[in-house]
Structure 1
C-alpha cells in the first residue's frame, strides 16, 4: 500500500467535494444511532464561504488514489485568534493504519502557520461511557495525542411533535416571572432594528454558557458578520427560527434559536439559548425555548426529531430540557491541546 498523500480540498470542484463528503459522512455515522453530520450542500457552503468571522479549510488524504481520511480546520478571524478547531474523519474501511494521525499532524502544521497556539476538537462517545470519553476510540484518538478533556456535553433528542399543552404550560408558568418583558419571534435573517444587540447576545454564548477548561474568549458578532453568516445559512439550505426576550428598556436579553436543514429531512437542531447574567432568575430561558418550539411546530409539521446539546454542568438548562421531554442519547466531549 502506498503512502498517504494530503492535499487541500477544492470545495468548488463538485467531484472532489462529493468524494470528500462521502468519506467524512461514512466516518461520522459509523456506529452511531444519532449522528449529526453536515450534509453535502451544507459543507460545501461552509467551505466555499468568504466571510469575516471565520474560515474553514478542508484537506483530503489519499492512498493510491483512494480518499481514506478527511481533515477540517476552522479558523476564527475576529476573535479567539489563538485557536483553531480541528476535525479528522477516517473512513471506517481504512482505520487503524495511521491515516488519522497523519492528518491530525498536518492540521497542526497548518494551524501553526496561521499563528494558532490552541487546538480544539470534539469526540462523540456513548452516553453510558465515561464522562471524559476515555476508553472509546473517538476520545482516545485525541487523549493519546496530547489533547486534554475540557468540557463534557450530552446530546439529547426530543421526538416531534412535542405535547403542545405541555409547552404552553411551561410558557405560562414562566410568564409571571418576567412581567414587563416582551417576546418577539422571527424566521430567517435577524430584523435590522435588533441586529446589533442580538449580535452582542450571541457573541456572549461562548463565555456566558459553561466552558469548563476551554481556552475561549467572547465572540464578536457585528452586523456585517451576522449578514455574511446568513448568506451561508441560505446557501446551505438552513432556516433559523428565533425567539428573543426584550426587557422593558428595549434591551434584547435572551434568545433561543433552532436551525431547520433543507437537506436533512425531519431533523431540527437546537442552536443557541442564552439569558444575560443580570436578567437570569426570570425563567426567560424556559420561556424562549417553549415559545420557539410551539411556533416551530405550528409552522413545520414535517419535523420528527429535535437535537440539542448541553454541558453536563448546566443543570438549569438540563432541567428545562427534561421538562420538555428530551432524553439523553450520547456524549460529546470537547478537548484542547496547547501547541508548544
Structure 2
C-alpha cells in the first residue's frame, strides 16, 4: 500500500526513507549531508514543503518544493524523485497530485523543476503530465584543485572581496552591477528577476546571514570611478562540506569582452582553495544560450556534467 505524507524531520523512519530515495537516485550523495541539508534553512525560499511516499514502510518516492518570495511569490521550484525500484508504478504522478493542492494553498500558481535531464525519461514524464519545457541549461562541474587560475586582468581594474555585507561605499554600484543580469538570455520560465537596489542587496544579505550562509563575493572595481563593474559570488551553506554550487556572475555591459569575468572567478577559486580546502568540487548552471559564460567556465577548467531543461506547469 502506498502512503504519502509530509516529511517529518523528527521522525527517523521518515528521514531514512527520504534519504534512501535520494541515495538510490544519486549514489554519490551522502546520507549525513542529505539530512543536514534538510534541517538547515534555505534563504532562497520562504517555505520548503516536502512529501515522502512509502510502500510497505520503504521509501518509494519524494518531492521537495520551495516557495519563493517577492516578485516570485506565486512560484514554487522543486523536484519529484522516484526510487529506481518503484518506477513505472504511478508513484511520481501520485506525488505530483498530492503536491499541487499544497502549493495552491500556499498561493502558488506555477510549479517548475529546473534540473531535469534533457531528453530523459523525466522530461518525457513531465511533458505527459502538463509541464512545458521553458528553458535549456548546461550544468558544469569543476574539481577545484584542477582549476586553471589566471588572475591577471586588464589594466584599470582592481579586485576586492568580502564575506557577507558589501562595503557601504560600494553598495550602490554592487546593486547596479547585479541589475545587469537582466540582459541575460530570456526564457519562458515564470521566474522574474528582482529589481536590484541597495535596499534589496541589504535585504538579501540579511536573509543569507540569518540562514547561516557564508556568502563570498569577489568584484572588479574600475580604478577611474571606484565603482564595482563585475561581480561573482558563492553562497556556502552549512552542509557544503566537499561540494558546493556557484551563485552568479555578471559584468556591466560597458566592461564586457575584456576577460574580467574569468579573472574574478579565478580569484574566487583561489580564495576557496586557500580558506576552504575541504571543498573538492563546485557546480554551476548556465543558460544554454549564454555561450560566452559557458566558454569562460571551460577556460577555468569546468567540464559539462549534463544538459538540463526547465519544465513548468500551472498548479
Same fold (TM over 0.5): yes
2:149 to 157, 167, 170: 167
Which residue number in structure 2 is paired with residue 128 of structure 1? none
Q: Distance in 1 between matches of 2:247 and 2:305?
A: 18
Q: Distance in 2 between matches of 1:38 and 1:218?
A: 30
1:337 to partner: Cα distance: 1.5
2:102 to 110, 113, 116: 110
1:121 to partner: Cα distance: 0.7
Which residue number in structure 2 is paired with residue 310 of structure 1? 286
Which residue number in structure 1 is paired with residue 187 of structure 2? 212
1:7 to 5, 8, 11: 5
Q: Distance in 1 between matches of 2:71 and 2:97?
A: 24
Asked if residue 226 in structure 1 is aligned to residue 205 in structure 2, the reply is yes
Note if contact 1:62-1:69 (Cα within 8 Å) is conserved in structure 2.
yes
Note if contact 1:58-1:71 (Cα within 8 Å) is conserved in structure 2.
yes
Cα pair distance change 1:224/1:329, threshold 3 Å: closer
SS at match of 2:146: coil
Which residue number in structure 2 is paired with residue 89 of structure 1? 81
Cα pair distance change 1:225/1:243, threshold 3 Å: closer
1:253 to 229, 237, 242: 229
1:53 to partner: Cα distance: 5.6
Which residue number in structure 1 is paired with residue 138 of structure 2? 154
2:248 to 272, 279, 282: 272
Cα pair distance change 1:230/1:80, threshold 3 Å: same
Which residues of structure 1 form unaligned runs of 5+?
126-132
RMSD: 3.1
1:45 to partner: Cα distance: 0.8
Q: Distance in 1 between matches of 2:44 and 2:290?
A: 31
Deviations 1:192-224 (A, max 9, x none): 52567646755764x443342212212364423
TM-score when scaled to structure 1? Answer: 0.78
Q: Distance in 1 between matches of 2:299 and 2:281?
A: 16
Note if contact 2:230-2:252 (Cα within 8 Å) is conserved in structure 1.
yes
Q: How many corresponding residue pairs?
A: 308
Note if contact 1:158-1:306 (Cα within 8 Å) is conserved in structure 2.
yes
SS at match of 1:161: helix
Cα pair distance change 1:98/1:261, threshold 3 Å: same
Cα pair distance change 1:197/1:7, threshold 3 Å: farther
Asked if residue 328 in structure 1 is aligned to residue 268 in structure 2, the reply is no
Which residues of structure 2 form unaligned runs of 5+?
none
Q: Distance in 1 between matches of 2:176 and 2:83?
A: 39
Q: Distance in 1 between matches of 2:133 and 2:61?
A: 24
Which residue number in structure 2 is paired with residue 130 of structure 1? none
Which residue number in structure 1 is paired with residue 128 of structure 2? 144
Note if contact 1:53-1:225 (Cα within 8 Å) is conserved in structure 2.
no
Cα pair distance change 1:149/1:299, threshold 3 Å: same
